[in-house]
Copies of this chain bind each other. A is one copy, B any other.
Amino acid sequence: MRLSPEIIKKAVTLIIRCLNGSEEEASLVAENLVVADMRGIDTHGVYMLRNIFERVKAGLMFIPTRIKIIEDKGATALIDGGNGIGQVAAKHAVDLSIQKAKDYGIGLVLVRNTNHIGILSFYSNMVAKEGMIGIVACNSAPSMAPWGGVTPFFGTNPLSIAVPSPSTPVILDMSMSVVARGKIRRAQRLKEKIPTGWALDENGNPTTDPDKAMKGVLLPIGGPKGYGLAMMIDILSGVLSGSNYGPNVKTFHRLEGPTGIGVAVMAIAINRFMPLDQFLDLMKGYMDSVRQCKKAEGTARIYLPGEIEAEKELESVRNGVEIHESTITTINQILEELGIDYKIGGVR
């Protein structure tokens, strides 16, 4: 079902406000979740509101979010997210890293003790809009093993890098697994086989059976390369921040305890290296050259990182954002449970 983004944002805002969130954090969460749906990343969209709601209700996450600056000196800082809303802590880290990049050319802010922060491109994009390169990474609950192993140890540990351009920023936003676990769950539902290379079974053998894959581990991109990248993100955002790491990170999707997620945010000031205008001109030429490469047989168009999502977002602005029926039902249930007199999605 297609809805106006503003109508869903209002629902999210009302719910977060009712859960004791400030006006500011309510609108931040609304923006972050709805933009994910608008960009076609519905796994990180308003569907997540159920998790926030249940987690707050269970006393496993605290609203309003009480940020604490543990250390702030020179070009680096360390923040405690107070086991509150991940979006609030991450936004705080973004603002601080931008300020540091203005002062020192680069800023690195780590966050400990926070929760799911939604799509990472939301934050890297904020940095890019300031004429800086934004880099954001975080750890997540274990789903991948060390290379050669079968114990879930690393999360898919996403990374986003956003670069300003004369048009929309170029935004990479990726996890370190070949596919998300959701794709295997879908194959399970549809009773389809999965390609080899997606996952291992519980004994560490390649499998095309989604049921066996769900009991095993996801495979990292590039084998040992993705294993290494996932580890490095875990070390930077989890170990160095003093947060949880490895198998100690709890999933946001079940109520097994505080997640202990750690986040790393970096801003790099372009104007320390060349005038921003000159960089934007270079990027224009760069993007044009990439697009003009000879296409593979059967390929209609070459996309830049984040371009598919940016176009989807524009389309959602024009035609409304696609929200799954079950998500609408969930949101309306939460609204009702909280006694909020507001419904989305028309008559049910």
Contact = CB atoms under 8 A, between A and B. Distances in A.
Contacts of A232: 161, 163, 172, 305
A170 interface: yes
Contacts of A334: none
B236 A172 contact: no
Contacts of A331: none
Given A203-B296, A294-B149, A272 B73 contact: yes
Contacts of A268: 76, 108, 236, 240
B242 A274 contact: yes
Given A239-B279, A239-B283, A296 B204 contact: yes
A283 B221 CA distance: 24
Interface in A129-183: 133, 145-151, 153, 161, 163, 170, 172, 174, 178
Interface string A283-308: 10010011001111111011101000
B286 A245 contact: yes
Copies of this chain held together in the complex? 2
Contacts of A222: 174, 178, 221-222, 226
A287 B240 CA distance: 14
Nearest to A178: B222
A82 to B, nearest CB: 18
Contacts of A73: 105, 272
Contacts of A286: 235, 239, 245-246
A16 interface: no
A225 interface: yes
A75 B106 contact: yes
A298 B149 CA distance: 10
Contact of A240 (B71, B242, B274): B274
A64 interface: no
B106 A295 contact: no
Nearest to A197: B197
Interface in A178-233: 178, 197, 200, 203-205, 221-222, 224-229, 231-232
B302 A149 contact: yes
A74 interface: yes
A69 to B, nearest CB: 13
A279 B203 CA distance: 33
- Interface centre among A75, A282, A283, A286, by most chain B C-beta atoms within 10 angstroms, is A75
Contacts of A301: 148
A308 B152 CA distance: 22
B240 A270 contact: yes
Given A247-B289, A289-B246, A299-B148, A228 B279 contact: no
Contacts of A224: 174, 305
21 contacts: A73-B272, A106-B107, A108-B268, A110-B273, A145-B296, A146-B302, A147-B303, A149-B302, A153-B290, A163-B232, A174-B225, A174-B229, A200-B296, A204-B294, A204-B295, A204-B297, A205-B296, A205-B297, A240-B268, A240-B279, A247-B289
